[in-house]
Structure 1
């Protein structure tokens, strides 16, 4: 029997449903972090905005308490970028993506020569001892490395340590309303327990599909940064439903996962900077066009907070606050209708009430690209 075809719109609605962007969830911050299998956290406060967009009730302290209580950790995982994940998922995900981190030791153009000329296991053992004794930033670690290896570039060795060890960025880094450098220690030291056995790749791919499906092998590889996942999907095939996208790509999904009718109305939403919904697939056309992606993904690696209209990215926002006033400027790619403007303004005011509740005035402005 031939696989069912899914339109780009159908894929988009399915993704929004999995991401809790069709309707906000009544669940907790911890439950959402686990369901989404991690939140992008390159920007320290991005996870707060991601949770605000998805939960019916959310306050910054809800997530901050998870970080301080060591129930959620911030560490380099998928694609080598910083994510906030539950402490239970952290070990499994880090061990799964470790080949990606290890490969960077050989391929990093800036540091690979220096790294190749040292005994890597010795560097790993030395850095572990230092960081578990006294958590510190990678910059602060460099003098310790320079003292041990005076003829090597300490920046290169510190880069190797980031690849070799499962390092977590400890609070106050990532706490709302507070600042802090990325002070690191090992995951084992922070949690007070060994990493334990990793989950199987099959289990991890199923978790990915629960949050991002339907998806292709290429999508899962783009999300994780890993390669050769086709074998994992083949092993899972008897448990999965198969679909075909508009472009002919083979897609996989959990049999009982939500796949709403493509005509399902999609509410207006403001997404976080670096939002995972924009980074979970190789083919992102289900939620953003290639032309619009170039306006949202900047050349220096920043991914702007975006607005969704009708289920797709229709612009981006800039939030500013000073001297008792907070504002959101909404830049749209095309001229919105009066109804869309009203929906965008309502969502923007909701955002300001969350992010800047103490401001005397809240202002929403509209602009157009170009």
Structure 2
């Protein structure tokens, strides 16, 4: 197949076709992991696929079927709560390989890290299993731990990377943490490392395919050998896309291509799920989506899979104002439904500006 066909099939995989596609739990389980470093972006990624409003999405994240943590690449994702432990053990652990060097820079050591985990366990248990980030930091300080500089953040990250804690929904504007074992309603453990790799591969390619193996390796942080082992053990189909071998889920191929227009957050799997983004945007467009190459992705307007504009929003008490910054000539009326969907998600009237 050609690149345009592959891109339209990706939209199907990414659950951007006719929907909605189930509830929050169903969508997160389909992907296996959804980018959520930026919480507002992560919530809209769920909203655009489920058709739920922001309060409904937040309420669903309180049901404990999904959780935010650092399962791979040192980046926060929404993942199924039941899978948190084995995902941390398989791919999250890779982030711990350089922790000694980080400890040296921060003035930490294994004794301090273990003591911080003890203090967090005691504080969270006493509080019923959930505390705000500031309360967690206060517990460390109260136990004699210096949290100056980046030490406090690192110790909270370390506890989650070790599977002790995880990020729960915000308390107002503040992040909260929970004991992971308390949050998980039912824990799943693959029978072997090979099964875990196969689960990763199946979920990635059914939610991102067609895609090459290097994109799967980049998404998980796995080495190429493990990435290929996962593909070999999963029920996937190889496809040729303009001479490049890619992999996809047969059910997605059978369902066929998708077309349409979407208003997506910057930190969405549509962009973050791939190392090679050439099917979605030109080099010049990517420079506008990621200005300065600083890792901060702008929200995008997507037409039949291709980026055509970025957009910014200002949320007021009476309306949400969206400013569209086109990369190519854009008919704003074509995106009326997509932008109205975002406004409905917020429960506000929409004002669109085109500078």
Write the mapping of 1:300-315 to structure 2, written as runs, cut at 5 A: 300-315=294-309
Q: Is the 8 A contact 2:21 2:27 kept in 1?
A: no
Counterpart of 1:21 in 2: which secondary structure?
A: coil
Counterpart of 2:11 in 1: which secondary structure?
A: helix
Aligned equivalents of 2:252, 2:112: Cα separation in 1: 44
TM-score normalised to the size of structure 2?
0.83
Aligned equivalents of 2:290, 2:250: Cα separation in 1: 33
Q: Answer yes or no: is 1:221 the counterpart of 2:217.
A: yes
Deviations 1:133-189 (A, max 9, x none): 24445555456546656689684365145134333222335xxxxx23222133113
Q: CA deviation at 1:256?
A: 3.8
Alignment match of 2:166 (pick from 156, 162, 168): 168
Q: CA deviation at 1:304?
A: 1.7
Q: Is the 8 A contact 2:24 2:61 kept in 1?
A: no
Q: CA deviation at 1:320?
A: 1.5
Counterpart of 1:205 in 2: which secondary structure?
A: helix
Aligned equivalents of 1:327, 1:317: Cα separation in 2: 10
Write the mapping of 1:1-370 to structure 2, written as runs, cut at 5 A: 6-55=1-50, 57-106=51-100, 108=102, 111-114=103-106, 117-119=109-111, 122-123=114-115, 125-133=117-125, 134=127, 135-136=130-131, 140-142=135-137, 144-145=139-140, 155-156=150-151, 158-163=153-158, 164-166=161-163, 167-173=165-171, 179-191=172-184, 197-198=189-190, 200-228=196-224, 229-233=226-230, 235-236=232-233, 239-246=235-242, 248-258=243-253, 264=257, 266-299=259-292, 300-322=294-316, 324-336=318-330, 340-357=331-348, 359=349, 362-367=350-355
Q: CA deviation at 1:127?
A: 4.4
Aligned equivalents of 1:233, 1:96: Cα separation in 2: 12
RMSD across aligned positions (CA): 3.0
Q: How many residues align?
A: 343
Q: 1:316/1:123 Cα in 2 relative to 1: closer, same or farther (>3 Å)?
A: same
Aligned equivalents of 2:117, 2:320: Cα separation in 1: 48
Aligned equivalents of 1:73, 1:211: Cα separation in 2: 19
Counterpart of 1:303 in 2: which secondary structure?
A: coil
Structure 1 alignment gaps of length 5 or more: 1-5, 174-178
Counterpart of 1:76 in 2: which secondary structure?
A: strand
Q: Is the 8 A contact 1:127 1:161 kept in 2?
A: no
Q: CA deviation at 1:89?
A: 2.9
Aligned equivalents of 2:54, 2:354: Cα separation in 1: 27
Q: 1:16/1:153 Cα in 2 relative to 1: closer, same or farther (>3 Å)?
A: same
Deviations 1:185-231 (A, max 9, x none): 331133377x5634621122111111112222211121122324244
1:176 corresponds to: none
Aligned equivalents of 1:320, 1:88: Cα separation in 2: 36
Q: 1:190/1:180 Cα in 2 relative to 1: closer, same or farther (>3 Å)?
A: farther
Structure 2 alignment gaps of length 5 or more: none
Deviations 1:17-59 (A, max 9, x none): 111213223522321121122322222222332133223x422
Q: Is the 8 A contact 1:265 1:310 kept in 2?
A: yes
Considering fraction of residues, name the structure with more helix. 2
Q: 1:273/1:151 Cα in 2 relative to 1: closer, same or farther (>3 Å)?
A: closer
Q: CA deviation at 1:314?
A: 0.9
